[in-house]
A and B are shown apart, each in its own frame.
Chain A
Amino acid sequence: MSYGQTEAVRGIDFEVMAGEVFAFLGPNGAGKTTTVEILEGYRDRTGGEVSVLGEDPQHAGRSWRERIGIVLQEGRLDPYLTVRESLGLYAGYFRSPRPIDEVIALVGLEGKAEERARKLSGGQQRRLDVGMALIGDPELLFLDEPTTGFDPSARRQFWDVIAGLRDLGKTVFLTTHYMEEAQRLADRVTIIAAGEIVARGTPEDLGERESQAATIRYRAAGREVKVETTTPVETLHELTGAALARGEDLEGLEVTRPSLEDVYLELTAAAEVGE
């Protein structure tokens, strides 16, 4: 899959199960948007096979578009249409749209229905954007970096909306560069860096990686001691046992584990160096 002169992504291979929230995680420029645009049918690939809901997006037609919803990374709204009108316009494009009021409630914009898009906050506009992608009652929803530029409270509200979609049984393909977002929302995570997949699994699987290595730090005789271990409980037991036997304290004792964020940064940094 490439465009222009450089190959943006290559040799990537993944499956998304019906009804799951699948996070495609990676830093900016990793090839996330290229991949998602190929899946959405916006971009033609130069090689490889792609099947979305049983069809090749490159050749899929109107009936296929009835079954998907797309939230673009950047997609402003018509500033002069209200929430209800924006949804009404899009509802007309689909054969069997969801009721507009239901969608307004789904994205938490009750009370804003008659407000014009330009009067909404950034987070509210984004939720309307999701509403417009949901109005056709799609089986599969694409969300491309939906919370970039959000403040923490807007991000949390948005996450609640996405969590609600899972309960509706929608399949969600989420691209993001926020580890926390993937961790919070996704059933499965695939990490991409420099156009290649560097890790995949459930957030818990990826979390296990971290539990394998812990760092124990303390001071002894004024010196900083750092012990890296994959069996922190055992190691700690030995260290504290020995210290007690000597009648000493382990000053400033702490056990730390790399956060999922650290694991992610390490993985993606390695891929970028290896490029």
Chain B
Amino acid sequence: MSARLAYPGGAPHVVVIGAGSTGAATAHDLALRGVQVTVVERGEVASGTTGRNHCLLHSGGRYCVKDEEAGIECIDENMILRRIMPDVLELNDGLFVAISDDDLAFKESFLEACEACHIPALDLSKERALELEPGLNPEVLGAVQVPDGVFEPFRFCLSFLASAQSNGAAVRTFTEVVDFEGDPGTVAGVRVRDRSSGRIETIGADIVVNAAGPWAERIAALAGIQVPVAPTPGVMVSVGRRLNNMVVNRLNKPADGDIVVPQRVSSIIGTTSWSVDDPDYIPIPQDHVEKMIKCGRELIPAIGEAPIRGVMAVARPLISKGGGDAREVSRTFECFDHASEGVEGFVTISGGKTTTARAMAEKVTDMVCEKLSVEAECRTRDVPLKSYRTFYTRGAA
């Protein structure tokens, strides 16, 4: 690469756009490899897609039948996250439950797919399923236990960012990218607006990583690049009563309202899927809310009597392959080096899901380090993360 070091004599400097799970994990990986990092985020940490996600630490069970690659990614990352962020995971496993004969007929292919993806799966009797999760529909015909879990998305990101900060990274929230810096065909930094002062400033960078999720298309367009991201929201409904200890999924191919994720004193039912053009503000279709309650009570009947506490919707950053049903689009991720489109110093990482954020970070950090000739191995599989609270602490207590 050309000698465009923004910090002559020091380590190379990388700007990461976005403080969702992907940007946070990428900042951590880069900082661990000795790269200087500045994260710029237009809002609060996790104020976009990551914050409003379903909180499901995937075992891979939801994908293994249709998408073996995504299933394997999930179980591998699930096991890594248990090692590096045990404080911010509720690890109570998950059940895939059969309510109808059609669900039960799906069990054989489900168990085979779990085995192919090396997802530990335990075939349970109806009695055992009800013993584990007494709130299940008493009509349950059988269930499979898998190592699903629950995270809290905001603290998930804070953990990665606190670790990145401890290795020298700067995290600038409420700092919005308005343009890129550099000669035509080159990205040499970002122009940002500080939302507190209104001031515009330039932050130089050897490479800029676009980790803006469903906003990645808008960011890339500033550099004259097109990235194929399809903002695909889903509605989730949180009820103000905790009804299950474990994650409860419908044993069938992914469909609307087929999962209830418990968290703290709530249970969260999800989800739906449709397409939008503008991910900034997504009005919630009321019929989706009603559908969540209807489908959710087929799994856990008490959902019908529980008070609705919160309703949220946000766009997933799925990689668009052109046309088709969003549920059929792969949930894996992709990394784009825009040098292939004639713009140096600019990469985009998109797709994926919070469970696989660390793997996404590893892939894009490998790409960035190769471009910068930084020879350092990825260590994020094994290095435990800092307490999420240290993202904010000043040590004055």
Partners in one complex: no
